Chain A
Amino acid sequence: MPINRFSIVTLAFFASLFFPLTVRSSEPSFRRDVMPIFFRAGCNAGTCHGSARGKDGFMLSLFGYDTKGDYERVVNEMIGRRVNIAVPEESLLLLKATGAVPHTGGKLFGKDSEYYKTVLQWIEAGAPDDIGQVPSTVEVVLSRKGLVFEKAELSEALTVTAIASDGSTRDVSRLARFFSNNDSVARIDADGRVTAVGSGDTNVFARFSRFTVGAEVIVLPPEAKFQWPDPVAVNFIDELVFDRLKKLRVVPSDLCDDETFLRRVTLDLVARPPTQGEYREFMADTRSDKRAIKIDQLLDDDAFADFWTALWAEQLRVIGGNYAPVATDVKAADAFYQWIRTQKRSRRPLNEFISEMVDASGSNLSNGPVNLYTMLVHKPQFEPKAFAADFSQAFLGVQIQCAECHNHPFDRWTQDDYYGFVSFFTGMKRKPGIEPRERRIFCDTSAPPAKHLVDGRPMPAKTLGSVEPVPAGGDPRKALAQWLTSPENEMFSRNLANRIWAQLLGRGIIEPVDDVRASNPPVNGPLLDSLSKRLVEVKFDLRTLVRDICHSRVYQLSARPNESNVRDTRQFSHAHLRRLRADVLLDSIVAVTGVPRRFSGFPDGTRAIEYYPRESGDTEGPHFGDPFFATFGRSSRATVCACETKREPTLSQTLHMAVGDSVRDRLSANGEVKRVLESKSGPEDVIEELFVRALGRQPKSEETAAMRALIGDAVKDPAAYEDILWSLLNSTEFAFNH
């Protein structure tokens, strides 16, 4: 007997399909309830279905940046397979997640879990898509900002609250993911319970939606052993660093001696060791503020400006070539370099210095600062995306390039931020100028903005983190320059302050300096805040901030650790041993031996710090220029990354110092050792002089004795003293700023 199939269908349909589908608040929403489970269970992680090509034929967007696409893939890509709206518990999604069928990712949750129930309820409701706007998460808050544990083994649970765009809040502790930056200090488990492991400080984080929020965790060493020495704070820097050390029960090292201070500050500010004249003058000086006087002297030296010119030129990837189409001709590089040097020597405030580059237009040969648009990214054509990423890394210390393909997994940056930022540069063009080497850089204001990767939306120019785009019309870089360098833009001033600090202390308060992100917080937040505020307060004057830092006791601490701070590597309780940069090392060798170094294409007397690579051909790829720099790890300028400057020792460096021409050929070349020998009365005095010149200190008596023994009877033979100088230049002490 024929049965009306349609009527059965209709009945079933209206009875069981229609009603559950009427939107009720209790019905799980795909975006609000189901997607967070994919995140929590790790389904959309990069190693699983969040991989760009998916996994085993099923793809989800990494950490859920593409909610619409994820819905389509889960529900509509293979109908009847992943979700089964007729027999919901038979949905492959659930069978896989609970390990009921073979799953590469294994079992992720049980059938009795709340996750299972939520997904099941959603499928039972017909696996509906969300209608209209689902309130999105606008903020995530951790229950504690910081935790202090008296000893290991103690623990405490954190809860995570998400605040939605409609103002509602909910506890998402069971949907967030947790991680610790240092498991040897504190661990955090999958449900947010923090357990102290060993003394030190670190941060733990919760991730939910596109937010990463952290709490500082301090695990204290035993109190019994700790006694605060109460050192005198010279300025705000000392106060903030000592506050932190006291909180961590770490005793700072002693103040360094005058010899160490002089060598350290001279290397740091003018990029060479002190001369013997400077040494003797400083040591003889009995004024109590002689260190401050020395700092001021060095800050006024042109070499200070030249050194910072070199650091900026390296960061902005100045390289000269002779292949006109890439717009980086030597003449353009020179124009840029000279312009930077002029700004540094004339003490141009850093914000103005950067602002002028950001909205520069015109000829790459005659208008130096426009070469930001030819040098920062070396390409035959201007590439807005690569440039935007490097720009943000250089001037904000922020790496937004992750957000090209997906929202930044460990920071706040979304694809909206990224493509909005790229749009500042989509109009940048180069056109041939009057002479073959010349390119004119300009902004084509009619160029369309960048398109969003996921849905192709045009994304008008928008500053990072803001909601509204900048006003349309004209060159958007004006608004960018204004926003970037404004005193209100803390990202900008903090980045500058942190980089300056890192240059002088050997380690950033945020380290690496160009990887600022939510999950890489400052090790001393108040210190970075104050340095940044101070920089703004003094109108972005580099020298004032450098002076403040050099004045501080923290800068002047000894590198010798004590029992309490020997394990500390990041709280500035003692000075860091810092290997000299390649260019500073070469200048130091030249300064000690008195034999200049020539650089191809540069006039005689050019210092190593003033050298930048000049290449025949285009300027893409790594360029060291002089082979000494390749050996000793000067930045190859292949990328904008601060890590291009290598501080790691290599065997070839050791060999080069020992037998290479840089040291060996200089020992006797202009008879400097001979002159010292003639001017001094005895071998002990000669030894003392060589120590002062090479290491900036007096030899110890046992050192003098050992050296004297080497000389033996040949007290007037320069060769023996040259050997001594050789060994001093090959000593670890010479290669380090300590």
Chain B
Amino acid sequence: MKSAMLLSAACKSVVFPKHAQLAVCSGCVRLLSKLIAHGSRSLLESGYGEIRSRFRRNSVNRSVVTSAILWALCLTVHAEDAKPVTYDDHVATIFKKHCLQCHGDSKQEAGLNLASYLSIRKGGSGGEVVVAGRSSSSRLFKAITEEDPEARMPPKNDPLPKEQIALIQAWIDTGLRQSSGSSPVAVRKLGFTPTAVDKSDGPPPMPQNLTAIESARLIRPFPVIALAASPRAPLIAVSSYERIDFVDPSSRNLIGSVPFPEGEPHLLRFNRSGSVLLAAGGRPVQNGVAVLYDVKTGRRLAEIGNETDVVLAADLSVDEQQIAIGGSSRVVKVYSTETGSLVRSLVKHTEWITAIAYSPDGKLLATGDRVGNIHLWDAAIGGVVLPLSEHKASITSLSWRSDSQVLASSGEDGMIVWWDVAKGWPAVSKADAHPPQRPAGVFGKIANGVLAASFGPGGELVTCGRDRTVRLWASDGNLLKAFGPDSNKAGDSQISSIRILPLQVSLTFDGRIVVSGDSAGQLNSWPIESVQK
């Protein structure tokens, strides 16, 4: 068949860049590597619907698919039937040419033999070198893409050609296929059954007899830097300056406020029964504290911590015995809610702590920092369980799915990751999850950070980002809907030269309303008809 011939020509020209047919396809190779670097989102959104639907039918895991699509794009340009990247067809020749001298049958530096598919899977003396679906966690891929020439493979040489690196990446990310006949190595799936909400505490707690608090000092609304939805009631807690507002999510009417004279609440979180609200914050470089409020009465239950800078992240343990707080001190401090005393300090982060979350089953504590590192700790004794490394810039939020199997993280690097906590691997990761529009004539990097992520009761995730949209993701990680920046917006979103960004987002207890708060101090909400499970 003609198309098949074209295909093989395309593949060859990729594997053998010096081949005469290079000219046919080098443009695509460049595009491919660029797209891989860029992430997949823009591609999915930009009119390759046909490719997308084909891969959906195959019901292969999404993260596999996205990378495969990238690869497929190159091939589909030339041929109608895309062929997966495999060890036999593509990768073996690269290893043979560049690696086998030191990592082959005759010599196995670091115990690593790259001469056969099985020996590659087996790995070297330091463990496995390729992880299906995760080039970024594969030591082999790290070694060939290392920036430091001293540490890079092949040693004392130029890096491998970009096309070959792209091939190896595509091979790993599409599941380490051995040959075109073999299926990809299993990559994790997001199975989920919602955990029943705790209903033992009687009617859902709602604030009663709280009034509004006028803040005379404010010349305009304070940005909504913290927001939380009650897990049991139609109730949203919203941060303002020196106070916290309780708001009805459907009408956005104020129900009442509690004072937070310590400054800015940087974090709000309800306990599982919805009866207690944790607020943490303070004043930059002055003071920091975590406060517990009784939701019904607005009464202060406890004040925890006495920090010298704002508490940026905090959470209340499931048994409500402990509060973990973090901020610019780089140490996660765990306090007893009963005595207010410091129980332990978790020292591992090298930068400001930006996110903290206890797993709903009470077993784990996840903490994230400003350079993108996430650590999992044993909630009871504080031991290190796992590092979760995928993000390249500040973690902006951590949110647990109610079954405690999946942790979602969002970052300023534009990524959202659904972590398979048991393995410590990303089950799904979305690069460039909130792609901003590129204005005409603008080159270079545009800030594309994801500013917040929060799970709803059905395992769906809502996020907001610097592209000024709010996005709703299904429990399998597929994008369901993007809101904004201008749909259903109260007032003008871009007044004068101040850019208004959605900073916080949450789903209500019943998963029916998305509420977000923005940098102009406004609340927005969108009803959701039915959430796809």
Chain A residues near B (Cβ < 8 Å)? 1-6, 8-10, 12-13, 16-18, 21-23, 57, 72, 76, 79-81, 84-88, 90, 92, 95-96, 101-103, 124, 126-131, 451-452, 454-458
Which residues from B are CB-within-8-Å of A1? 211
The answer to whether B503 and A12 touch across the interface, beta carbons within 8 angstroms, is no
The answer to whether A85 and B223 touch across the interface, beta carbons within 8 angstroms, is yes
**Neighbour of A17 across the interface among B247, B352, B443, B520, CB < 8 A:** B520
A405 smallest CB distance to B (angstroms): 15
The answer to whether B499 and A76 touch across the interface, beta carbons within 8 angstroms, is yes
Q: Which of B217-265 contact A (CB under 8 A)?
A: 217-223, 225, 240-241, 245, 247-248, 251-255, 264
**Interface-lining segment among B193-201, B290-298, B383-391, B489-497:** B489-497
How many Å lie between the Cα of A72 and that of B212 in the bound state?
33
The answer to whether A9 and B443 touch across the interface, beta carbons within 8 angstroms, is no
24 contacts between A and B (CB under 8 A): A2-B251, A2-B253, A3-B253, A4-B252, A5-B254, A8-B212, A9-B490, A10-B490, A12-B221, A17-B520, A18-B495, A72-B447, A76-B466, A80-B225, A85-B222, A85-B223, A86-B220, A92-B285, A95-B286, A128-B496, A128-B498, A454-B444, A455-B443, A456-B444
Given A87-B222, A128-B498, does the pair A101, B443 have CB atoms closer than 8 Å?
no
The residue in chain A whose Cβ has the minimal distance to the Cβ of B225 is: A80
Annotate B490-533 by CB proximity to A: 1 below 8 A, 0 otherwise.
11000111110101000000000000000111110000000000
The answer to whether A86 and B241 touch across the interface, beta carbons within 8 angstroms, is yes
The answer to whether A87 and B520 touch across the interface, beta carbons within 8 angstroms, is no
The residue in chain A whose Cβ has the minimal distance to the Cβ of B443 is: A456
B158 smallest CB distance to A (angstroms): 9
How many Å lie between the Cα of A55 and that of B219 in the bound state?
31
The answer to whether A5 and B219 touch across the interface, beta carbons within 8 angstroms, is no
The answer to whether A127 and B285 touch across the interface, beta carbons within 8 angstroms, is no
The answer to whether B255 and A2 touch across the interface, beta carbons within 8 angstroms, is yes
Given A8-B254, A21-B495, does the pair A2, B218 have CB atoms closer than 8 Å?
no
Chain B residues near A (Cβ < 8 Å)? 211-212, 217-223, 225, 240-241, 245, 247-248, 251-255, 264, 266, 283-286, 310, 328, 351-352, 370, 442-445, 447, 466, 490-491, 495-499, 501, 503, 519-523
Which residues from A are CB-within-8-Å of B222? 80, 84-87
Most buried by B among A10, A13, A72, A101: A13
The answer to whether B523 and A5 touch across the interface, beta carbons within 8 angstroms, is yes
B481 smallest CB distance to A (angstroms): 23
Given A87-B222, A87-B241, does the pair A13, B522 have CB atoms closer than 8 Å?
yes
The answer to whether B223 and A96 touch across the interface, beta carbons within 8 angstroms, is no
Which residues from B are CB-within-8-Å of A17? 220, 495, 520
B415 smallest CB distance to A (angstroms): 17
Which residues from B are CB-within-8-Å of A127? 498
The answer to whether B442 and A81 touch across the interface, beta carbons within 8 angstroms, is no
Which residues from A are CB-within-8-Å of B523? 5-6, 9
The answer to whether B254 and A129 touch across the interface, beta carbons within 8 angstroms, is no
Which residues from B are CB-within-8-Å of A88? 219
Which residues from B are CB-within-8-Å of A129? 497-499
B263 smallest CB distance to A (angstroms): 8
Which residues from B are CB-within-8-Å of A22? 496
The answer to whether B221 and A9 touch across the interface, beta carbons within 8 angstroms, is yes
Which residues from B are CB-within-8-Å of A101? 284-286
The answer to whether A10 and B491 touch across the interface, beta carbons within 8 angstroms, is yes
- What are the 4 A-B residue pairs with the smallest beta carbon separation, nearest first? A456-B444, A456-B443, A5-B254, A86-B222
A227 smallest CB distance to B (angstroms): 65
A30 smallest CB distance to B (angstroms): 9
The residue in chain A whose Cβ has the minimal distance to the Cβ of B239 is: A80
The residue in chain B whose Cβ has the minimal distance to the Cβ of A85 is: B220
A305 smallest CB distance to B (angstroms): 42
Which residues from B are CB-within-8-Å of A130? 497
Which residues from A are CB-within-8-Å of B255? 2
The answer to whether A79 and B521 touch across the interface, beta carbons within 8 angstroms, is no
Given A85-B223, A86-B241, A456-B443, does the pair A102, B218 have CB atoms closer than 8 Å?
no
How many Å lie between the Cα of A128 and that of B445 in the bound state?
22
A229 smallest CB distance to B (angstroms): 64
Given A79-B225, A90-B283, does the pair A3, B217 have CB atoms closer than 8 Å?
no
Given A2-B253, A21-B496, does the pair A79, B284 have CB atoms closer than 8 Å?
no
A507 smallest CB distance to B (angstroms): 41
How many Å lie between the Cα of A102 and that of B352 in the bound state?
17
How many Å lie between the Cα of A87 and that of B221 in the bound state?
9
Which residues from B are CB-within-8-Å of A457? 443-444
The answer to whether B217 and A87 touch across the interface, beta carbons within 8 angstroms, is yes
Which residues from B are CB-within-8-Å of A2? 248, 251, 253-255
The answer to whether B447 and A126 touch across the interface, beta carbons within 8 angstroms, is no
How many Å lie between the Cα of A326 and that of B519 in the bound state?
56
Given A3-B212, A80-B223, A88-B219, does the pair A9, B521 have CB atoms closer than 8 Å?
yes
Which residues from A are CB-within-8-Å of B447? 72, 76
The answer to whether A16 and B254 touch across the interface, beta carbons within 8 angstroms, is no
Which residues from A are CB-within-8-Å of B264? 80
The residue in chain B whose Cβ has the minimal distance to the Cβ of A92 is: B284
B441 smallest CB distance to A (angstroms): 8
The answer to whether B498 and A126 touch across the interface, beta carbons within 8 angstroms, is yes
The answer to whether B496 and A126 touch across the interface, beta carbons within 8 angstroms, is yes
How many Å lie between the Cα of A95 and that of B263 in the bound state?
14
**Neighbour of A79 across the interface among B491, B495, B501, CB < 8 A:** B501
B23 smallest CB distance to A (angstroms): 14
Which residues from A are CB-within-8-Å of B217? 86-87
The residue in chain A whose Cβ has the minimal distance to the Cβ of B447 is: A72
How many Å lie between the Cα of A169 and that of B443 in the bound state?
32
Given A5-B247, A21-B496, A451-B443, does the pair A95, B219 have CB atoms closer than 8 Å?
no
The residue in chain A whose Cβ has the minimal distance to the Cβ of B351 is: A57
The answer to whether B495 and A102 touch across the interface, beta carbons within 8 angstroms, is no
The answer to whether B501 and A86 touch across the interface, beta carbons within 8 angstroms, is no
A94 smallest CB distance to B (angstroms): 11
Which residues from B are CB-within-8-Å of A456? 443-445
The answer to whether A87 and B498 touch across the interface, beta carbons within 8 angstroms, is no
How many Å lie between the Cα of A76 and that of B255 in the bound state?
30
The answer to whether B219 and A16 touch across the interface, beta carbons within 8 angstroms, is yes
Which residues from A are CB-within-8-Å of B218? 12, 86-87
The answer to whether A13 and B520 touch across the interface, beta carbons within 8 angstroms, is yes
**Neighbour of A128 across the interface among B241, B252, B491, B497, CB < 8 A:** B497
How many Å lie between the Cα of A126 and that of B248 in the bound state?
28
The answer to whether A131 and B497 touch across the interface, beta carbons within 8 angstroms, is yes
Given A12-B221, A13-B221, A87-B219, does the pair A5, B284 have CB atoms closer than 8 Å?
no
Which residues from B are CB-within-8-Å of A21? 495-498
Which residues from A are CB-within-8-Å of B490? 6, 9-10
The residue in chain B whose Cβ has the minimal distance to the Cβ of A6 is: B252
How many Å lie between the Cα of A236 and that of B447 in the bound state?
60
The residue in chain B whose Cβ has the minimal distance to the Cβ of A380 is: B158
The answer to whether B491 and A81 touch across the interface, beta carbons within 8 angstroms, is no
A686 smallest CB distance to B (angstroms): 62
Most buried by A among B221, B264, B491, B520: B221
Given contacts A6-B253, A17-B220, 19 further A-B contacts (CB under 8 A): A2-B251, A5-B253, A6-B522, A9-B523, A13-B220, A13-B521, A76-B499, A76-B519, A79-B223, A80-B222, A80-B223, A86-B222, A95-B285, A126-B496, A128-B498, A129-B499, A452-B443, A454-B444, A455-B443
How many Å lie between the Cα of A229 and that of B400 in the bound state?
91
Which residues from A are CB-within-8-Å of B252? 4-6
How many Å lie between the Cα of A130 and that of B522 in the bound state?
23
A65 smallest CB distance to B (angstroms): 14
Which residues from B are CB-within-8-Å of A10? 490-491
The answer to whether A86 and B310 touch across the interface, beta carbons within 8 angstroms, is no
How many Å lie between the Cα of A548 and that of B247 in the bound state?
88
The answer to whether A4 and B254 touch across the interface, beta carbons within 8 angstroms, is yes
Given A57-B352, A79-B501, does the pair A126, B220 have CB atoms closer than 8 Å?
yes
How many Å lie between the Cα of A660 and that of B502 in the bound state?
78
B208 smallest CB distance to A (angstroms): 12
The residue in chain A whose Cβ has the minimal distance to the Cβ of B281 is: A80
How many Å lie between the Cα of A87 and that of B519 in the bound state?
14
